[in-house]
Amino acid sequence: MKKSALILILISMVIYTCISQDKKTVAENPFLVEFDTPFQVPPYDIIDTTHFIPAFEAGIEESKSIINAIINNEEEPRFENTIIPLDKGGEILQRAVVFYSLNSANTNPTLQKIARELNPMMSAYRNEISLNQDLFQKIKTVYENRENEDLDKEQLRVVEKYYRDFERNGAALPEEKREELKKINTKLSMLSLEFGENLLAETNDFKLIIENKEDVEGLPEGVIFGAAEAAKQNDMEGKWVFTLNKPSWIPFLTYSPKRELREKIYKAYYHRGDNNNENDNKDIVAEMAKLRDQRAKLLGYGNYAEYVIDNNMAKTPENVYDFLQQVWDPAIEVAKNERDEMQQMIDDEGGSFKLQSWDWWYYSEKLRKQKFDLDEEELKPYFSLDNVREGIFYVSNQLYGLQFEERTDIPVYHEEVKAYEVKEADGSHLAILLIDSYPRPGKRGGAWCGAIRSGSYKDGEKVYPVVYIVTNFTRPTGDQPALLTFDETSTFFHEFGHALHNFFADGHYKRTSRDVPRDYVELPSQIMEHWAAEPEVLKAYAKHYETGEAIPDELIEKIKKSGHFNQGFATAEYVAASLLDLDWHTISNTENIDVNKFEADAMNDIGLIDEIIPRYRSTYFSHIFAGGYSAGYYVYLWAEQLDSDAFNAFKESGDLYNQELAAKFRKYCLAENGMGDGMEQYLKFRGSEPTIDALLEKRGLK
């Protein structure tokens, strides 16, 4: 089929008339045409929930027509007539996937209902494409003849990646096994959705309601005010409400002297999905572990972790276990010392109890104040959300020359979302950035960054990305702006690192644009965290929200001296969760799994102390059961080897804003990241492989 025929098919699909809800016509559905908005940001102000299903249906049909055109083309399969349309096609779906970002950041019962309808539809569509034998044979032919075409290095890599994608997704399996794989994929898709919905419901359902003023004594003023505001919103004026959102429960655990209330809120937190109610996740976890194991074995792997990690820098689960053990051994010893210090404090105060997990935040904060004369509340006035954001923009400008202009003419999906145009040093357009900062009932917990539209090329012209950062930071209270803890400040810098990766990724094809192994993807985010704590950088952005004065040297010194404080706990709880994740995905017996027993046995095997639980227990471990980190939660620590070593390059140069190094990092580690394997790209920047030493030193474990 000639290119002109293919174009005709694409044009016909744009005017494709789908069966729409409530008699809405194609012309009324904004997803069926290019967005007529500044920078083609989704027109949130006119998007209606009734648009989504028809848009996905039309998008699937458009995509199928492209696949059929490839299959029915009688010419010899080549890069131009097979890989290019496969890579570039499907524009309606590319617009409609905005649904998924909305369902995470601003969901409601209607969107959740749509998600339950979309999941099996999209799972069936993905199966139909990835297991299509005629399409696979076309791709295989291009792959086998790739050296005979005049392809550049990037094009060769695209061919190899597409071939490997189809192979890993089961296209080479016999028909009977392909059918079995389809069923497993669909089940897993629905279970993952259900897990996330259950977790959101569990998080939203719990409220610690305090009626007596003495029960909020000891808490910072801003925390008390926020709890009173939460009570007002729940028609409980005169009371205080604490929730399972991090800006609520963590300050309560950190400052409340009421031990029985700390226990109540913490147990509610770590029992999410484990309450034997309609939102219980134990059966889902067991079923997903079983199905993933079956899926991996169908594809020729010993277990699901082998399947996942084979595509990562680490290559094998054994390498990951060995790596984590090297960190676990020193971390748990430091954690035991931290526990003993806190127990001694309890004993010295006349406490007649053993330190428990719900005590750790409270006594570690007291110990930090005692050791370093540092109180988190003393720091927060210097880290207003606005100042931290401007600090991030400042660092990005100093490193890469980026400029940020707030725009009020760009549609946003919620009134609290701020929109920015990102420009290069020469003033040319680079990206649109949306920032969504505060918790609300329709937003899942945590912080994340994604792309509503990834950067790409169309007809040789650059298509610029639309990127979003979502966080759950403490809201402004009264006349006081949103004030961040230093941990939240680091989180903001972290997510902005992901945003930079999205801004700069510059592959000409989907499979070479921001396409990196999972254990590489945290390098761009985690390296940004280093700048947040540097004295030179702190002086530039950490300014008191009332006086405008820069953070004093004595506070910077306290931050520096306390940098390794509580790192035994922080590292041990993280590594414990990473090992739990690996254990779930190297499981040998998937019949009749007792989820809590499996988890307890896994933690006993590594020697996790009673006073610490893994950062995520199985029933609310959304990274691995409702996200993309299954058999891959270890990646944050793996990437920390890279980011610690990479930041040392700037330190060694004597210039934190070394623009020559920044340009090199941008080129090899961000823009061209899809052009080679993770370590291959890193070596182009650094010249040598990192060792674990920089990581251990950074965390004070060596």
> Measured at the alpha carbon of residue 471, what is the angle toward residues 503 and 255, in degrees to the nearest 5?
145
Tokens of 697: 């030193």
Distance, CA of 342 to CA of 362 (rounded, Å): 10
Gyration radius of the chain's alpha carbons: 26
Amino acid at 669: C
Cα distances (Å, whole numbers) of residue 329 to 355, 414, 608, 615: 22, 45, 11, 17
Amino acid at 483: L
Distance, CA of 246 to CA of 474 (rounded, Å): 9
Spatial CB neighbours of 236, under 8 Å, sequence gap ≥ 6: 209
Read out DSSP for 293-313?
HHHHHHTT-SSHHHHHHTTSS
SS3 state of residue 520: coil
Strand partners, 480: 477
Distance, CA of 52 to CA of 556 (rounded, Å): 50
Q: Which of 167, 365, 377, 495 is catalytic?
A: 495
Question: Are the C-beta atoms of 153 and 675 separated by less than 8 Å?
Answer: yes
* Backbone torsions φ then ψ of 438, nearest 5 degrees: -110, 155
Q: Can you count the helices (H) and strands (E) in the chain?
A: 29, 9
What is the sign, positive or negative, of the torsion defined by CA atoms of 558, 559, 563, 568?
positive
Distance, CA of 242 to CA of 226 (rounded, Å): 9
Amino acid at 458: K
The DSSP output letter for 182 is: H
Tracing tokens 């309606």 back to the chain, one arrives at 92
Spatial CB neighbours of 454, under 8 Å, sequence gap ≥ 6: 465, 502, 505, 510, 513, 514
Tracing tokens 């960054």 back to the chain, one arrives at 449
Residue 144 catalytic?
no
Question: Are the C-beta atoms of 222 and 384 separated by less than 8 Å?
Answer: no
Question: Are the C-beta atoms of 296 and 307 separated by less than 8 Å?
Answer: yes
Distance, CA of 676 to CA of 496 (rounded, Å): 24
Nearest to 466 by CA among 441, 437, 502: 502
Distance, CA of 488 to CA of 485 (rounded, Å): 5
Read out DSSP for 596-614?
HHHHHHHHHHHT--TT---
Question: Are the C-beta atoms of 492 and 531 separated by less than 8 Å?
Answer: no
- C-alpha 252: how far from chain center: 25
Distance, CA of 396 to CA of 404 (rounded, Å): 10
Length of the chain: 702
Cα distances (Å, whole numbers) of residue 164 to 158, 263, 662: 10, 49, 32
Tracing tokens 């689960």 back to the chain, one arrives at 317
User: Residues with catalytic annotation?
Assistant: 495
